[in-house]
Structure 1
Amino acid sequence: MEFWPEFLASSWGKEFVAGGFGGTAGVIAGYPLDTLRVRQQHSNKGSAFQILRRLVASDGPFALYRGMAAPLASVTFQNAIAFQTYAILSRAVDKNVASDDPPSYRGVALGGIGTGAIQSLLLSPVELVKIRLQLQRKTTDQLPLTTHRGPLDVARTILRTEGWRGIYRGLAITVLRDAPAHGVYFWTYEYMREQFHPGCRKKGQETFRTMLLAGGLAGVASWICCYPLDVIKTRIQAQSNSSVVKYSGIVDCFRRSVKEEGYNVLWRGLGTAVLRAFIVNGAIFTAYETALRCIFQSNDDNRAVVQAENAL
């Protein structure tokens, strides 16, 4: 019975619970736009609205949420790892900052880069499964396709047909995308919230408006800086042993995509991604910061009760 209060009192416990709230809010808020983004990156036919209309007409509106179970199942652990790793690394790389002061912007950027590289080990298989489900279609022009029943079915199929190498397809490009993107992500959030609400980095009293705007702008900045790599990652992870088009690696995918579709292919779906990034990351940081405040408040109340009981 004493585990939960002790867990929440620890740094890991706070980050785990708050990160879980933030991540869950982000997935739910932006998943339909994520599905649309992936389909734009993988296809060269039609605008975002045309792709959306075809998808809803052929597979129904719930197709926009296909594959959501995979990121939802891992999002608590993933965000706990991300926020806790960031909290540790942002201070470890700049030890001259006092413990009661916020990390320096240099520490924030380097901590974010390290966080992105580490969490890619977990994120890459999750995104692989998610992308395979998002691109799944019920029918072709000739015959019905065999559809997967969910993320576990996709994972089992990949392991059976492609092995462990298949489940980690796209790991290198995921690291190349996420490491710099997370550096930009955390730096932009810390910088922008300080601009919107001076002194809040140390006092932690920013408003919901500040959280939403700073989080949203952080997401937009991080996606813009890594978007061409994300397009390449989607195409590499979308292919399987049965795919007609196969890429031998990152460079081959880049060269063939640009040769066949022009350089514009590297930015296909950017508008959808930017809109989703603002909504998702505004939700993530608002839920995360709010959960942290609630946890700290709860701990303070518990300590006050204990002190009152001891006084009696």
Structure 2
Amino acid sequence: MSADFWAGYISGAVGILTGNPLDLIKVRLQARDALSSQTATSYVRQFESKSALVTGTAAPVLGYGALNALLFVSYNRSETAINAALNVPSNLWTTWFAGAIGGQATWVVSTPTELIKCRAQLSSPPASSWSIAKQVFKTEGIRGLYFGGAVTALRDSVGYGFYFWSYELTSKWVESSRQNSSTFSQDAAKVLLCGGLAGVVSWVSIFPLDVIKTRVQAQTFDATTTPLLGSSASPPQKRMGAVEVARNAYREGGARVFFRGLTVCSVRAFIVNAVQWAVYEWIMLELGQGRHKRVEPI
């Protein structure tokens, strides 16, 4: 396996373990108004037991490790191919498109991983990722694991385009604002800062899509009203698609509903992606594959 595969895999798993508690809150806020008052106490109550801290992590640790590995390998290869085909140096345009291609390539892993994670985090009583996966496969087959795949693919493509674009852009800004010589602590601080900002930018760019994705995937196969959606309306006859879910969400709370949980998500995104990029860059450096490319401005 290539260096970027292992660096991506390990950094993805570390990132999930780091940010799962805040991700749990984010998903519950997106799916229903579980934290109406949004006080400090109401946030703490989301972790009714120690196991709540790792609720739904089994699928993401396995899935996102593979997803992150596929993402970085696809991104690196795509950028090299695009630059060679266009005969241009690396720039922020090609970085965005390579990131979008890398995000699209993760669809095969991200869709079932996201579906299992969301349902595990929203289940009451709590259910393991493995039990959720078995239930979905038993009742719906392999197609059930890819429910909501279209909106997930769109979210990943756009989001990862901005993810790599913002990382390279902020890296360029930091490099231009400091002296030529740099220390290990300065390099580490740069990676942490740029990685954290990249995570925030990418999530802000696709958060409404993520809200829709969460609500789509929270629907169960029997299409009855469930605690996952927290709705008191009469049961629908079939599961809704992304467009219908978006319309219902807008009728429920206007445009604000598409940004519910964004604050929590942004805090989580900064922490997780700062750690994730630091681990990735460190492993790549240890394997003799440090990133030293020059990125031209748009």
> TM-score w.r.t. structure 1 length?
0.81
Distance in 1 (alpha carbons) for counterparts of 2:218 and 2:63:
20
Distance in 2 (alpha carbons) for counterparts of 1:228 and 1:51:
23
Unaligned runs of 5+ in 2: 226-234, 290-298
Output aligned runs, 1:252-267, within 5 Å.
252-267=244-259
Output aligned runs, 1:208-247, within 5 Å.
208-242=188-222, 243-244=224-225, 246=236, 247=239
Alignment deviations for residues 166-186 of structure 1 (CA, whole Å, 9 cap, x no partner): 111110010111111111110
Output aligned runs, 1:1-312, within 5 Å.
12-45=1-34, 46-48=36-38, 49=40, 51-56=42-47, 59-95=48-84, 96=86, 103-138=90-125, 148=127, 150-198=128-176, 207-242=187-222, 243-244=224-225, 246=236, 247-296=239-288
Higher helix share: 1
Aligned to 1:142: none
Q: Is the 8 A contact 2:15 2:273 kept in 1?
A: yes
Distance in 2 (alpha carbons) for counterparts of 1:215 and 1:155:
32
Q: Is the 8 A contact 1:131 1:234 kept in 2?
A: yes
From the CA coordinates, give the structure whose radius of gyration is larger: 1
Structure 1 residue identity aligned to 2:93: R
Aligned to 1:307: none
Aligned length: 271
Deviation at 1:44? 1.7
Distance in 1 (alpha carbons) for counterparts of 2:280 and 2:37:
34
Distance in 2 (alpha carbons) for counterparts of 1:74 and 1:177:
17
Structure 1 vs Structure 2 CA RMSD: 2.4
Distance in 2 (alpha carbons) for counterparts of 1:123 and 1:94:
27
Distance in 1 (alpha carbons) for counterparts of 2:92 and 2:207:
23
Deviation at 1:241? 2.2
Distance in 2 (alpha carbons) for counterparts of 1:75 and 1:294:
22
Distance in 1 (alpha carbons) for counterparts of 2:80 and 2:118:
35
